[in-house]
């Protein structure tokens, strides 16, 4: 179907071809600008309503609940922010109230190239807030040359395991290499060691690998039923939302619903039923960033929806989840700005970070119901 897809999509249902829903002109929410940052990448809420926000160049900010104060945290390691490199995700330990542990990811330069690192530190509050006792607890391997596809998303499972994404670093083949952790979803203990019982360790894979055959994994989240969802950028089109199952091969670069940027054709997912296909894909691309699964009360109609930022077709995307299935629901233009991050606030509001590129100011936005 690959080369015929664009013709076929004119003749059959566009939804079957991975099309994007038309961008809604009327938004069911009002948007409040809360703060403005410099190329922000990710955010998370503290129990008291304050936020931690990361910026691409290597700053982590402690932000007041109203957004009026933003204080840089001391203790952040050196970040290699060239290209797609950045200080990336930030997530609290499930028992943060007891241990004050903050987990974050960043790109770094090593002796043999560059790679993605996962670190943690203890948040010390006060007049000069800092992350103390910071240590790198996991590194994607191997380090390679280049500045792309670090990924670096973090999520804790309901049973307390740490899931971490490592992109294939624009090198293609590592996604299928059983010894490499690149192009993989990884399951770790909270100290960064590989979790016992990972599904592929007995087959000779790196013991941290949970699933493989991924490209640039820029969002990962658990739903209320404990299902793990992941989104990733396809090559040239073919962006994906995947249900992540243990031990499965998601096909890249063997299959994709997009093609290589140089025009070389990649066979579609439906040519290899032995490999896991996405639950939803986008062709043309939306360039997804961030992933949040909504379970709040402020927007009851959105419960059990996945929200993704979109950076190619700028805006906010909603996908309705139904058990282990998914379908496209809404897409809203956010004034032409690329959305890098989506989070749910403590009161059920939806919070967005603009990418801070292509004319965006890198603003923090709060979405609440109209009226």
Written as one string, the DSSP assignment of 217-258 is EEEEEE-TTS-EEEEEE-SBS-EEEEEE-TT-B--TTT--SS
13 domain residue, yes or no: no
Query: Within 13 A of 153's CA, how many CA atoms are on the CB side?
Result: 29
Q: Domain range spanning residue 57?
A: 21-369
Catalytic residue, candidates 149, 206, 214, 237: 149
Rounded to whole angstroms, the Cα distance separating 49 from 63 reads: 9
- Is 2 in the active site? no
Q: Tell me whether residue 46 is in a domain.
A: yes
Question: How many structural domains comprise the chain?
Answer: 1
**Measured between alpha carbons, how far is 233 from 210 in angstroms, rounded to an integer?**
19
CATH of the domain at 36: 2.120.10.30
Tokens 């699964």 identify what position?
293
Peptide bond into 142 cis (omega under 30): yes
In a domain, 12, yes or no: no
Q: Is 38 domain-assigned?
A: yes
Distance of CA 366 to the CA centre of its chain: 19
Q: What is the pLDDT along the chain (371 residues), one digit of tens a residue?
A: 333 332 233 232 334 345 555 566 689 999 999 999 999 999 999 999 999 999 999 999 999 999 999 999 999 999 999 999 999 999 999 999 999 999 999 999 999 999 999 999 999 998 899 999 999 999 999 999 999 999 999 999 999 999 999 999 999 999 999 999 999 999 999 999 999 999 999 999 999 999 999 999 999 999 999 999 999 999 999 999 999 999 999 999 999 999 999 999 999 999 999 999 999 999 999 999 999 999 999 999 999 999 999 998 789 999 999 999 999 999 999 988 999 999 999 999 999 999 987 666 899 999 999 97
> What contacts 244, CB < 8 A, 6 or more positions away?
185, 210, 211, 220, 228, 229, 230
Residue 5: inside a domain: no
């Amino acid at each position: 179907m690959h080369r015929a897809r664009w013709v076929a999509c004119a003749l059959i249902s566009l939804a079957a071809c991975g099309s994007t829903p038309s961008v809604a002109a009327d938004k069911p929410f009002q948007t409040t600008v809360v703060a403005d940052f410099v190329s922000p990448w990710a955010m998370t809420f503290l129990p008291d309503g304050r936020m931690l926000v990361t910026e691409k160049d290597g700053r982590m900010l402690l932000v007041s609940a109203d957004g009026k104060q933003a204080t840089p945290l001391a203790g952040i390691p050196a970040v290699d922010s060239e290209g797609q490199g950045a200080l990336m995700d930030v997530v609290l330990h499930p028992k943060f109230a007891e241990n004050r542990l903050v987990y974050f990811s960043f790109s770094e330069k090593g002796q043999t190239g560059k790679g993605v690192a996962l670190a943690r530190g203890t948040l010390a509050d006060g007049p000069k807030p800092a992350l103390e006792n910071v240590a790198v607890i996991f590194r994607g391997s191997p380090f390679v040359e280049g500045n792309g596809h670090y990924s670096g998303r973090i999520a804790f499972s309901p049973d307390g395991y740490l899931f971490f994404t490592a992109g294939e670093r624009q090198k293609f083949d590592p996604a299928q290499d059983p010894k490499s952790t690149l192009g993989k979803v990884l399951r770790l203990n909270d100290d960064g060691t590989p979790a016992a019982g990972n599904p592929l360790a007995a087959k000779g894979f790196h013991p941290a690998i949970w699933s493989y055959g991924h490209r640039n994994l820029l969002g990962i989240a658990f739903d209320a039923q404990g299902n793990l969802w992941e989104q990733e950028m396809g090559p040239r089109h073919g962006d994906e939302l995947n249900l992540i199952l243990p031990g499965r091969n998601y096909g890249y670069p063997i299959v994709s619903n997009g093609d290589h940027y140089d025009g070389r054709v990649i066979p579609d997912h439906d040519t290899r039923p032995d490999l896991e296909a996405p639950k939803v894909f986008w062709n043309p691309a939306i360039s997804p960033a961030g992933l949040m699964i909504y379970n709040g009360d402020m927007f009851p109609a959105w419960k059990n929806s996945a929200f993704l930022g979109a950076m190619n077709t700028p805006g906010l995307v909603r996908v309705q989840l139904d058990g282990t299935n998914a379908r496209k629901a809404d897409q809203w233009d956010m004034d032409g700005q690329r959305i890098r991050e989506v989070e749910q606030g403590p009161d059920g509001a939806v919070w967005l970070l603009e990418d801070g590129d292509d004319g965006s100011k890198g603003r923090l936005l709060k979405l609440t119901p109209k009226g």
